[in-house]
Amino acid sequence: MHNPQLNKDGELTHLLSIEGLPQRILTQILDTAASFMEVSARDVKKVPLLRGKSVFNLFFENSTRTRTTFEIAAKRLSADVINLDINKSSTAKGETLLDTIDNLVAMHANLFVVRHASSGAPYLIAEHLQRIGRDDVHVVNAGDGRHAHPTQGLLDMYTIRHYKKDFSQLRVAIVGDILHSRVARSDIHALTTLGVPEVRAIGPETLLPKHLDKLGVHVFHDMNEGLKDVDVVIMLRLQNERMTGALLPSAGEYFRHYGLTPQKLALAKPDAIVMHPGPMNRGVEIHSAVADGPQAVILPQVTFGIAVRMAVMSIVAGN
């Protein structure tokens, strides 16, 4: 099946998911991001790459943090940024998702950054753009339902490469609510594509998707076992808003078994890094001592995130 993210020359024209992208494209994004890190370190943090282009942030799900980093990234590329917070009621008034897209394309949008509560929404948009012959308009997925958050996956990889250099020798553990996590799915695809030999998922049965092994992941229910000798620990947020029904008894019980405490962290390698996509629930999935400790790289992740998003937007916008 033709990958809707790639144009006919095999180059990235939309970023919808890490799944299906060849390693060379992931590496290209990471290398380009390295150059943008330098831009962000200057006084004038701008380059003229997307000057005259309009980037529309289409957020159907609230997220001030992610939207802000995309806005900063787009502005550093000299693009014009328009923020649209579309809550459910305005779409309930009759305008479908695709109608909204058509209207914005008519307003000369060049790039859509889309966050949506339904898995697959950005694909619908990308396919529609192709159908109406607009291969000059690009889509970047800022998170769709439980499916993917590819820029987060990429910035997580950038972080790992920054601290660990070589993917081919690593053990990486992802801990928490993977069932509902688009970050986890993107991380898993990125890690396996970049050649990480051992990817572990740690969590209770209710929070792990079935068939995780088919994605190349080793499943652990015992965190003490799962953290042994890992180089990277990625902690996921326990997402209240996504959980419906009897998945967990309480945050307290969760923390006892799956919270990252200094004692549990000590089971990993002494130079292991601790990552978290944020925002953190202190005392639920992560102990403050770890979050504020020397092994945590959570704040650098945010800085890397701006550079990675600049890289993604400039690569797709040029194809």
How, if at all, do strands 171-175 and 80-85 pair? unpaired
- Residue closer to other proteins (CB basis): 60 or 255: 60
- Residue closer to other proteins (CB basis): 201 or 227: 201
- Residue closer to other proteins (CB basis): 203 or 259: 203
| Shortest spacing between CB 299 and other proteins, in angstroms | 21
- Residue closer to other proteins (CB basis): 52 or 252: 52
186: left (phi over 0), alpha (psi -120 to 50) or beta: alpha
- Residue closer to other proteins (CB basis): 27 or 261: 27
- Residue closer to other proteins (CB basis): 73 or 212: 212
How distant, in Å, are the alpha carbons of 90, 244, 274, 283 from that of 174? 37, 22, 10, 18
- Residue closer to other proteins (CB basis): 46 or 256: 46
| Shortest spacing between CB 140 and other proteins, in angstroms | 14
| Shortest spacing between CB 9 and other proteins, in angstroms | 10
Residue 73 main-chain phi, psi, to 5 deg? -60, -45
Tell me if 70 sits within 8 A of 84, measured CB to CB: no
Q: At how many degrees (to 10) do helices 298-317 and 150-164 cross? A: 120
| Shortest spacing between CB 302 and other proteins, in angstroms | 19
Can you tell me the distance from the alpha carbon of 128 to that of 122, in angstroms, rounded to the nearest whole number? Answer: 10
Contacts of 239 (CB under 8 A, 6+ apart): 177, 180, 181
User: What are the tokens at 43?
Assistant: 């006084």
User: What are the tokens at 131?
Assistant: 């159908």
Residues in the chain: 319
| Shortest spacing between CB 51 and other proteins, in angstroms | 9
| Shortest spacing between CB 260 and other proteins, in angstroms | 24
Separation of first and last alpha carbons in the chain? 21
| Shortest spacing between CB 36 and other proteins, in angstroms | 8
Helix-, strand-, coil-residue percentages of the chain, each rounded to 5: 45, 15, 40
| Shortest spacing between CB 15 and other proteins, in angstroms | 13
| Shortest spacing between CB 229 and other proteins, in angstroms | 27
Can you tell me the distance from the alpha carbon of 159 to that of 77, in angstroms, rounded to the nearest whole number? Answer: 22
Site of interaction with other proteins (CB under 8 A)? 1, 4, 11, 19, 28, 31-32, 34-35, 37-39, 42-44, 46-49, 96-98, 116, 118-121, 123-124, 127-128, 144-148, 182, 185, 209-212, 214-215, 244-245, 314-315, 317-319
Which residue in 130, 112, 109 sits closest to 8, CA to CA?
130
Which residue in 257, 241, 250 sits closest to 204, CA to CA?
257
- Residue closer to other proteins (CB basis): 209 or 226: 209
- Residue closer to other proteins (CB basis): 42 or 165: 42
